[in-house]
Structure 1
Amino acid sequence: MEKLPRDLARLAERVAQVIRVHTEPVDQVFIDGIMAALPSLRNFALSLTRHMERAEDLVQDTVLKALAKRDAFETGTNLQAWLFTILRNGFYSEHRKAGREVEDVEGAYAVNMITIPDQEDKLALQDLSAALEKLPPDQRDALILVGADGMSYDDAAEALGVKVGTIKSRVNRARSRLAELMGTTDDATKDSRQADL
């Protein structure tokens, strides 16, 4: 092989490493054809990208794709033209992809795309359901009507056919027992009791 300029020799060595790492056997004529096409491939990639490092990355990607699709190449046809097609299609695919991407340097878009995991909420809801099932039915009904359905004490008392004081007492006992079953502090229960009075 003729003496290559230093930057092209570096690219040739990187491509040779890629070929050596390739696990399937590839015939030497095919490899020689790829190596001979490197200068033209790099120049073509440079004309598309206008950036040397990006062009060399594009050439390496092209070689990897060519190795992976070796069986698609028809022996006797123009290998360089086939490689140019792979390179061009790779460039266009990346270009289209980049057109759909939005630059988010400061993370403004990413912040809005965050979803808080809800596993803990589901577990807490399961714990609450289990604890509610352990309450006596009269306390559970009173608590659900007032706490979950948002009924006033008067409306809940009327719905259950009891006095308002009875509803308040049932709700109070249900909240205290629920706090014990859930293992929460009594402060929240005390606050809610004081708000009810």
Structure 2
Amino acid sequence: MSNSLENDIAALLPRLRRFARSITFHREDADDVVQIAVERALTRSAQWEPGTRLDSWMFRIVKNAWIDEVRARARRDQLFAPEEEGEHVGDDRAEAQQQRMAIEQALRRLSEEHRMVIGLVLVDGMPYKEAAEVLEIPMGTLTSRLARAREALQALLSDRTRNKE
């Protein structure tokens, strides 16, 4: 394995972590998933084809690592409550924290498919074509899934606002 590949993977870490945070909603889970993905990439570096997009390959590995983790948790029947929900209660940032929590709660209520497209396209800013490649779906499926995800997210946030009034 070349140092170049290791350096290229290291350069992707902020993007990988941002994507992992958008699908896991938990800082520690995101870090764990990224670590698993990097370990898999380094041990299976022969599977990466030079000349292809390293970032797409790495995003797929992160996605698959998270799916594996969700399945493992379901088998263990464990529920993890995010500790961030009470992190900033009572300080000056409380309102901003409440808004962030409301968005995270709405995102949690979306399907896994919708969270993934939102994470790649809206959070990471990945072009549609690349996101479709990462998710291994046709471009049309990605665009319709993203449209439905946006609508569902907007409806969830609107419901929350109406319920507060």
Question: What's the TM-score, normalizing by structure 1?
Answer: 0.38
Question: What's the TM-score, normalizing by structure 2?
Answer: 0.46
